[in-house]
Amino acid sequence: MAEPPDSGSSGNDFKGLGFSKIGHFKQVRAKIGELEKIGAELSRRHSELEAVINSMTEGLTILDQDLNIVFINKVQQALFQGRALSGRKCYEAFYQKQKICGNCPAVETLANQESLSGEINVDLPPHGRRHLEWSTTRIADPLGSAPRVLLLMRDITKRKEEEMNLMRADRLATIGLLAAGIAHEINNPLTSIAGFSEGLLKRVKQNHPIEEDQLIRALEDYLQIINQEAHRCSNIIRNLIRYSQKTTENMTSLDIVQIIHDTIVLIQPHARQTGIQLALNDGQTTEPLCLTGSEANLKHLCLTLFNYALEAMEGPGTLNISAQRNAGEVEVIISHGNSLGSPAALTPNDRVEAVPPFHAGKADIGGLPLSLSICYTIMQQHRGQISLQHGEDRSLAFVLKFPTSLP
C-alpha cells in the first residue's frame, strides 16, 4: 500500500505562515529606482545635448510636421533678433509670409526623408540683407508617426563678401597674366596709328606743293586706318575693363556661346604666344544656348579654365571648346590633347573625378590652385556640376553641366 501524504508538512503549507498577498510595493520600489537611474541618465544626456546645441555656431531650429517651430537655439534667436519664433510657423517667423513658401524644403525633407541644403537672401533688421546657408534633415520619430525637421542656418554674408573680393583679386591676377599678350595686341594697332599719323604729318610738312585732291584722299585713307586701329584698341581695353569690374550677383538669362566667344577674344593673344589655337564648336546651332547666370562670374570661370587648360598643354596644339544642349542641360567641354581631335574621343575608361570642394581663402589645397576653388564656387552658384577627365595620354578635359534655369 502506498504511503499516505505527509499531513504535517502539508499542514504547514496550508497555513502559509511565510506567505501572504504579494504587494506591489517591492516591485514599485524597484521600478522607481530603475526609473530614477534612467531619469538621471536622460537628464545628463539632455544637458550634454543642450551644451552641444548651444555651442554650435549654426542657428538650429526644430520644426514639427505642420512646420511649427518647436525648438530654437540661442544662435538662431540671435540671428532673428527681436522676433518671436517659438511656436510660430517657420514661414511666418523667418520670412514674414502668410503662406507656405513654394517648393518648401522642409516639406520635401519630411516626404522624401532626403536632406536638402541651399542658400537664401533674407532681410534681417538690424543686420540688413544677409546671406544664409541652410540645410534640412528629417528627425525620425521613434514611434514612426510624427517626424520632425532639423533646420540649420548659418550666416555666410561675410564669407560671401570675401568670396567676391577673392574672385575680383583672382580676376585682376589673371589680367596680369594676360597683360603681355594684350600689350602685344594693343601694340600692333598703336604702331599702325603711329606710322600712319607720322606719314600724314610728313605729307603736311612737305615743302613742295601737292595737289589738294591727292592730299585730301590720302588724309581720308590714313585717318580711316587710324580710326579703325584706335577702335580696335578701345575694344580690347573695354573688354578688359568689363572683365575687371566688381561683380554683382545679378543673375540674368544669357547665351553661353557669347560668353565663351568673349573670353576667347580675351585669352587669344596669350594663347597665340605659346602657339595654341582655341577652337569653338557650338554645334552649328543658330539658337542661343541660354542659361541663367552671372555674366562676370561665368566669364571668370571660362577664363580660369581655359588658362588652366593652356598651362596643362605642353606645346603647340588646339584647345577645343564645345557647347551643346544635352538632356535638358547645357554642357560645356573644354578639352585638349595632341592626339585628341575632339572631346568625343575621350574613352569611357578615362578617369573621371569631381573637382573636390575646397575652402576659399586658403591658397592651395590638395594641389589644386586657388583659381579652381573659385570655379567650384561659381559652379555651385549656378547649381552646376564640374568634373575633370584625365585621358591616358595626359590629356585633360573639363566637363561643365548647367541647368537651363534656376529654381
Over 105-171, what HEC string results? HHHHHHHHCCCEEEEEEEEECCCEEEEEEEEEEEECCCCCCCCEEEEEEEECHHHHHHHHHHHHHHH
Which CB atom, from 26 or from 99, has the smaller least distance to another protein? 26
| Helix residue ranges, H only, 206-294 | 212-244, 256-273
Minimum Å gap between C-beta 42 and another protein is 25
Told to check if 8 binds another protein by CB under 8 A, we report yes
Told to check if 362 binds another protein by CB under 8 A, we report no
Q: Which stretch binds another protein (CB under 8 A): 15-23, 53-61, 278-286, 381-389?
A: 15-23
Told to check if 143 binds another protein by CB under 8 A, we report no
Report in angstroms the alpha-carbon separations of 211 from 186, 202, 206, 219, 221: 35, 15, 12, 12, 16
CA 320 – CA 106 distance, rounded (Å): 43
x/- track of binding to another protein for residues 24-43 (CB under 8 A): x-xx----------------
Which CB atom, from 31 or from 158, has the smaller least distance to another protein? 31
Which CB atom, from 7 or from 252, has the smaller least distance to another protein? 7
> Under a CB-based contact definition with an 8 Å cutoff, are residues 333 and 398 in contact?
yes
Minimum Å gap between C-beta 61 and another protein is 37
Q: Which residue, chain included where needed, has cell 544656348?
A: 289
Query: Residue 138 phi/psi, 5° resolution?
Result: -85, 135
Q: Which stretch binds another protein (CB under 8 A): 20-28, 95-103, 168-176, 267-275?
A: 20-28
The site for another protein, by CB under 8 A, has a size of 24
> Under a CB-based contact definition with an 8 Å cutoff, are residues 156 and 72 in contact?
no
Q: Which stretch binds another protein (CB under 8 A): 10-18, 55-63, 201-209, 231-239?
A: 10-18
Judged by CB under 8 A, the chain residues 191 through 210 that form the site for another protein are none
Please list, in sequence order, all residues whose beta carbon lies within 8 angstroms of the beta carbon of residue 353, skipping any fewer than 6 positions away.
387, 388, 389, 390
Minimum Å gap between C-beta 37 and another protein is 22
Q: Is 285 left (phi over 0), alpha (psi -120 to 50) or beta?
A: beta
Judged by CB under 8 A, the chain residues 76 through 135 that form the site for another protein are none
Q: Which residues pair with 154 in a beta bridge?
A: 133
Query: Residue 248 phi/psi, 5° resolution?
Result: -120, 165
Q: Which stretch binds another protein (CB under 8 A): 4-12, 48-56, 199-207, 263-271?
A: 4-12
Minimum Å gap between C-beta 32 and another protein is 15
Residues forming the site for another protein (CB under 8 A): 1-2, 4-8, 10-24, 26-27
